Structure 1
Amino acid sequence: MYRLRPLLSKFLKARSGHFAIMTALTAPAAIVLAAIAVDSGSLYVEKRQAQALADLAAIAAALNPTLATANAQRTMSDNGVAALVVGRNSELSGPGARDRLLVTTGHYSARKEIDSAARFDPAGATKNAARVTYRTLGTRYFAGALIPPPEIVVTGVASATPVAAFSIGSRLARLDGGIINSLLSGLTGSQISLSLMDYEALLDTNVKLLSFIDALALDLDVGAGSYDEVLGANLTIGKIAKTMRSTGEIQGPALTALNSLVNQTTNGSVLPIKLSDLVDFGNGELTAASIRQVGVDMNALEFLMMSAAIAGRGKQVALDLGAQTGLLSAVVSLAIGEPPQHSGWLTVGEAGSLVRTAQTRLAITVEIGTPRDLLSLLGARIRLPLYLEAAYGEARLKSITCDGGFNNRKVEIEARPGIVNLYLAEVDRSKLGGFANPMARSPARLIDLPLVSITGQAQAEMSNTKFTSMTFTKADMKPPVARTVNTRDYLSSLTGSLFSSLSLSARLELGLLGIPLLTLPPNTLGKLTGAIQNVATPIDDLLYRLLSVLGVSLGEAEIKVYDANCGRAFLVQ
């Protein structure tokens, strides 16, 4: 007994065997933890691999939404997933396969106001994106006998939006330096005086849109990642001309003209115009990469004139063009409205994008001489108060196709000219800018003598309510070729049609009473009508020159496509 006590005491005090005992006790727990770690790490790697496969399949599917499922399957097969079952609708589970795939096409919008989770719309009419959901079973190396293999479900969304750059407006095929100077001066509040050679030099010069934006961003000290601040900056015509000059792309006579324009607009008032009013890049985040999808070479003069027209929205401009028209007198008041559902003059966008011309109102009072044999009206002038309303013309991008490769790209545009109404009538010029309200019209006083008053009224309309489709190929884009859609129900002179429906009446003015005249020199009203009809051509010419400078053509819509890109697929979610 006494011999056992020292041995027991020595055993209890010994430390050499504790590690072995602790190892024996904790080894099972450590082995379990190690197995869990290996299984978890393996599942993490498998999920990353599955996500990469889903992303690749989504990119392949988005490149051609009509073949989205086949392209996604091929991508999965090329990456080692051959035994694959493709689900329908929301079907991702079911017997018979380890790997299942669900491909859904839809429309993806990058608009900032839409929550990121709702930007992919499976019900969207325009398919520009694909969502691929991939389900597979993970591998458990240690716990497979105890726990069933987990499902790995991953989703990739990719978009490949074809975009095109196109515009609507006038080709400015015929220039008139005097009218352009008058319009620019009235719209900008500056005294613009450029020569016809200056305008022709600008008409023959193009500047790259991206170069213009980069130069403006540099001047505003804006970073290259996003151009939102550039789009929202307040600009003047002088600022636009200065930015064009700083691109380094304009030389010779055009550079001289820009220098003159910059100097002449230095003291002009700041105009309420933003770059986004001119150029529409859609509703997504604007980046340098998105701009570079298409190349746009802007005509320098068109860009300046559209800037002035947009800057003058709602502003009434008075012009005296009598000496420039061959008429005795031609006094013009014009007002330019804003297109409904704002759209730029030029847009870079996808199918469904719109461009529109501005609504325009013109009040023109023309004076011409009377025929010599109208003795009773000797010394009087014939006064023709004309009022013209031009609704916006519009063009929309219908489709972009690249069948057979990028060099075979085609752009289909649907366009229609705006409705034009011309009246022989009196209007209140102070209300021209009130586009929300119709203009009140009254019979025109053509001859107003102390005792005799001759009035008349007439109306002519150019209208085309249907869209006309036109196709632009690669050859039509570099350089851009202007295509014209014309009003179908209009073949003759607008003013000629107006005067052909002219109705005249004569009255004897006695105090406040107007008494119809029963006797006038023979055929007086007929000769008066003939004299009015003889000036239809110069009045038509005046209307054409005025409106074409503003980007509006009578009964026409002129469309240009600058470039198109069928889109590079990229992940969006």
Structure 2
Amino acid sequence: MAIIVALFLTVAVGFMAIGIDLGSLYFRQKSLQTQADMTAISAVLNLSGTPDDHAQATVIGNRLEASALTSLEYGRYIYDSALPAEDRFETRDLSDVDVNAAEVVLKGAAPLFFSQTFLDTDSTPLSASATAARFDFASFSLGSRLLDLDGGILNALLGAALGSNVSLSLLDYQALLDTQIDLLTFTDALAVRADLVALDYAEILTSEIDLLDVAGALLDTGLVSGSTDVLTAILNCTACGSFNASELIGISGDNVAIQLEDRLGTVSVSALDVLKATLDIVNANRLIEADVGLPIPNVLGNVDLAVVVGEREAYSSWINLGERGATLHTAQVRLKLDVDLSPSLLSGLGVGVSALSLRLPIYAEIASATVTLTDLYCDASGPNDRIASFDTGLTPFTGTNGTHVVELFIGEFDAPAFEDTTTPLDAANLSPADFLDLELNLALITIDLFTLQLKAHAATGNALQPQIDFLVSDIAGSPKTVGSGSLLASTVASLLDPNNLEISISSQSQSLLGGLLSLLLTPVVALVDSVLDVLPGKLLGALLTPIDALLDGVLNVLGIGIGQADLTLDGVACGKVALVR
């Protein structure tokens, strides 16, 4: 019996060792892992402050020795399903702007109870590691904002997309302008319209859609209170252009994609901005023509407008939800204005000289713009604290030739050259344009076929700040203009500078004057010379104000700024921390 009991007690002690010691080891390992998780989260939550101190405080607060923290590394964690899990964390210096994760290793020991009978030790070492990442991102949009409403231009933009004439009132567009819609509601409605309900949000926003889907989604939300004639007109389209949804709403990285369901609902935009941005995408590289009736003094009747908008770069969309490093790009815009001005602007040209008509064909090439989200300050609390910074680049707003913010021309370009946005407008290809018909009232003769031609070119280079900051109070507020507000007026002044103007007499007038000069000689020669001498200075004084006002008014309606970009910070999501490993 003694032998049997001894054998049984040995087995019993073995089972107790397994049951009690292994249970104790498991419990202490789980506790150490929890402490490692908490330490990693504590470090990540304080990346912008003193993460080392907070990590140590967490270790000590969990009744561990400070030496238990054997490793603390910072880096960049990228949630990319295409990468193996072990390759998603890249070590960085804490000072690097793209650091978003911390990896910790804790060491500990667990006491042994009954196992000491079989093992030559009273404890066993334990180790636990954890990686926590913080996903901060911002939603921002660039350049699609309408500064004003004009039915003629908006109808032209819509008509170009639909391939038909559209005649809608400002009240129809005003209903869309007054409607704010969050991106979650819009995306849900878009998924139903485009038959994408089986996909997740990241897949929906990278799928092919068309203008009908966007208009239908805006209508299906039920948020448009007022006229829906604009959306109804689009739904009657039979062949509207298609595009990828990422050109409208971009997602920069899987780190953002995994949070879409939580964050899309926090971003609200105007329904008209959504539609206008869609039209910009669909109308890329199309020639759009419209009559503009802006109340500008000394501008006679409507102004003929032609617009060509280039395509955005492949990586860019209209609104972007992205982390640090996310980039948006606006497309280059070209426009032509045929302007009839009041002849009374050019009075006092000489005795017996009066203007019959005054016409200016103006071309403008407005270069593209790029902004990059460089930093988010998630420790901001007060309304006047900085929350985000954007880099406008070392050479922003450059034209296709890489040197100009804007180029203005007076003259004539051939249609193919104007419509091809891949080729810069070249002043060498600019032809003089008939701009002024003068009447010469002599003693017994009135000559009304004296036509002058004009050619001018002016360009403005980089004149922009390299960085723009947003405060907490700026979130979802008015857009900030990146650029120089006085750039347009100064460029128009350069265009009309007498040193830049080339004034000549049309060939038909030269033939007529040639015959008259042989008869009248000296009086007519002196009169023509005096007109040509005084005209350049009078053009600058008379035309600067109406031309500047006209260009400014047209560009405001289109949402375009010369040497500018309208940057809106729609929302900031800070502090979502996840244990990723």
Distance 1:33-1:270 versus aligned 2 partners, 3 A rule:
farther
What is the Cα deviation at residue 277 of structure 1?
Answer: 1.0
Distance 1:219-1:341 versus aligned 2 partners, 3 A rule:
closer
Alignment-mate amino acid for residue 454 of structure 1: Q
Alignment-derived partner of residue 406 in structure 2: 420
Report whether the alignment pairs 1:58 with 2:58: no
Alignment-derived partner of residue 67 in structure 1: 50
Alignment-derived partner of residue 263 in structure 1: 233
What is the Cα deviation at residue 345 of structure 1?
Answer: 2.2
Report whether the alignment pairs 1:400 with 2:376: yes
Alignment-derived partner of residue 522 in structure 1: 529
Alignment-derived partner of residue 96 in structure 1: none
SS at 1:245 equivalent: helix
Maintained 8 Å contact 1:136/1:153: yes
SS at 2:328 equivalent: strand
Distance 1:188-1:551 versus aligned 2 partners, 3 A rule:
farther
Report whether the alignment pairs 1:295 with 2:266: yes
What is the Cα deviation at residue 196 of structure 1?
Answer: 1.2
Separation (CA, whole Å) in 1 of partners of 2:280 and 2:243? 10
What is the Cα deviation at residue 521 of structure 1?
Answer: 1.5
SS at 2:50 equivalent: helix
Task: Identify which of 527, 531, 548 aligns with 1:540.
Answer: 548
What is the Cα deviation at residue 555 of structure 1?
Answer: 3.1
Separation (CA, whole Å) in 1 of partners of 2:112 and 2:195? 56
Residues 359-406 of structure 1, C-alpha deviation per residue, up to 9 Å, x if partnerless? 212234445576697999999865544332212233333433344758
What is the Cα deviation at residue 480 of structure 1?
Answer: 1.6
Residues 480-518 of structure 1, C-alpha deviation per residue, up to 9 Å, x if partnerless? 2233344177373543331125321436759xx9xx999
Separation (CA, whole Å) in 2 of partners of 1:322 and 1:375? 35
Report whether the alignment pairs 1:356 with 2:306: no
Separation (CA, whole Å) in 1 of partners of 2:46 and 2:244? 36
Residues 58-116 of structure 1, C-alpha deviation per residue, up to 9 Å, x if partnerless? 112111113222222232333332x131xxxxxxxxxxxxx333221222222444443
Residues 298-357 of structure 1, C-alpha deviation per residue, up to 9 Å, x if partnerless? 012122111111222222323354899744674443222233462222222233333332
Report whether the alignment pairs 1:556 with 2:526: no
Separation (CA, whole Å) in 1 of partners of 2:260 and 2:456? 57
Maintained 8 Å contact 2:381/2:472: no
Q: Give matches, 1:560-571, under 5 Å.
A: 560-571=568-579
Maintained 8 Å contact 2:386/2:469: no
Separation (CA, whole Å) in 2 of partners of 1:411 and 1:309? 30
Report whether the alignment pairs 1:498 with 2:485: no
Alignment-mate amino acid for residue 558 of structure 1: D
Report whether the alignment pairs 1:280 with 2:263: no
Separation (CA, whole Å) in 1 of partners of 2:242 and 2:495? 37
Maintained 8 Å contact 1:164/1:411: no
Report whether the alignment pairs 1:136 with 2:84: no
SS at 2:155 equivalent: helix
Separation (CA, whole Å) in 2 of partners of 1:428 and 1:114? 52
Separation (CA, whole Å) in 2 of partners of 1:456 and 1:376? 26
Report whether the alignment pairs 1:154 with 2:128: yes
Distance 1:56-1:290 versus aligned 2 partners, 3 A rule:
farther
Q: Give matches, 1:218-229, under 5 Å.
A: 218-222=192-196, 226-229=200-203
Alignment-derived partner of residue 3 in structure 1: none
Give the number of the structure whose alpha-carbon radius of gyration is greater. 1
Maintained 8 Å contact 1:294/1:564: no
Distance 1:381-1:23 versus aligned 2 partners, 3 A rule:
farther
Report whether the alignment pairs 1:102 with 2:39: no
Alignment-mate amino acid for residue 543 of structure 1: L
Alignment-derived partner of residue 285 in structure 2: 314
SS at 2:257 equivalent: coil
Maintained 8 Å contact 2:103/2:131: yes
Distance 1:272-1:178 versus aligned 2 partners, 3 A rule:
same
Distance 1:523-1:294 versus aligned 2 partners, 3 A rule:
farther
> Structure 2: where are the runs of 5+ without partners?
398-404, 438-448, 518-523
What is the Cα deviation at residue 264 of structure 1?
Answer: 4.2
**TM-score, reference length from structure 1:** 0.79
Report whether the alignment pairs 1:46 with 2:33: no
Alignment-mate amino acid for residue 286 of structure 1: A
Report whether the alignment pairs 1:387 with 2:384: no
What is the Cα deviation at residue 262 of structure 1?
Answer: 2.4
Maintained 8 Å contact 1:100/1:136: no
Alignment-mate amino acid for residue 91 of structure 2: P
Alignment-derived partner of residue 308 in structure 2: 335
SS at 1:125 equivalent: coil
What is the Cα deviation at residue 296 of structure 1?
Answer: 1.5
Maintained 8 Å contact 2:137/2:573: yes
Alignment-derived partner of residue 472 in structure 2: 473
Distance 1:405-1:447 versus aligned 2 partners, 3 A rule:
closer
Separation (CA, whole Å) in 2 of partners of 1:492 and 1:307? 30
Separation (CA, whole Å) in 2 of partners of 1:128 and 1:408? 25
Separation (CA, whole Å) in 1 of partners of 2:531 and 2:199? 73
Report whether the alignment pairs 1:80 with 2:59: no
Separation (CA, whole Å) in 2 of partners of 1:323 and 1:548? 11
Separation (CA, whole Å) in 1 of partners of 2:211 and 2:414? 30
Distance 1:291-1:525 versus aligned 2 partners, 3 A rule:
farther
Separation (CA, whole Å) in 2 of partners of 1:360 and 1:404? 37
Maintained 8 Å contact 2:339/2:359: yes
Alignment-mate amino acid for residue 349 of structure 1: G
For structure 1, which segment, 500-509 or 178-187, has the greater mean C-alpha deviation from structure 2 after superposition? 500-509
Maintained 8 Å contact 2:144/2:276: no
Separation (CA, whole Å) in 2 of partners of 1:374 and 1:70? 83
RMSD, matched Cα: 4.1
**TM-score, reference length from structure 2:** 0.78
What is the Cα deviation at residue 231 of structure 1?
Answer: 0.8
What is the Cα deviation at residue 538 of structure 1?
Answer: 4.2
Between Structure 1 and Structure 2, how many residues are aligned?
532
Separation (CA, whole Å) in 1 of partners of 2:380 and 2:491? 45
SS at 2:276 equivalent: helix
Maintained 8 Å contact 2:366/2:563: no
Task: Identify which of 85, 90, 94 aligns with 1:116.
Answer: 85
Separation (CA, whole Å) in 2 of partners of 1:509 and 1:31? 117
Separation (CA, whole Å) in 2 of partners of 1:406 and 1:244? 35
Separation (CA, whole Å) in 1 of partners of 2:381 and 2:119? 53
Separation (CA, whole Å) in 1 of partners of 2:506 and 2:185? 66
Distance 1:415-1:70 versus aligned 2 partners, 3 A rule:
closer
Alignment-derived partner of residue 319 in structure 2: 346
Maintained 8 Å contact 1:305/1:550: no
SS at 2:375 equivalent: strand
Separation (CA, whole Å) in 1 of partners of 2:286 and 2:128? 57
Alignment-mate amino acid for residue 68 of structure 1: P
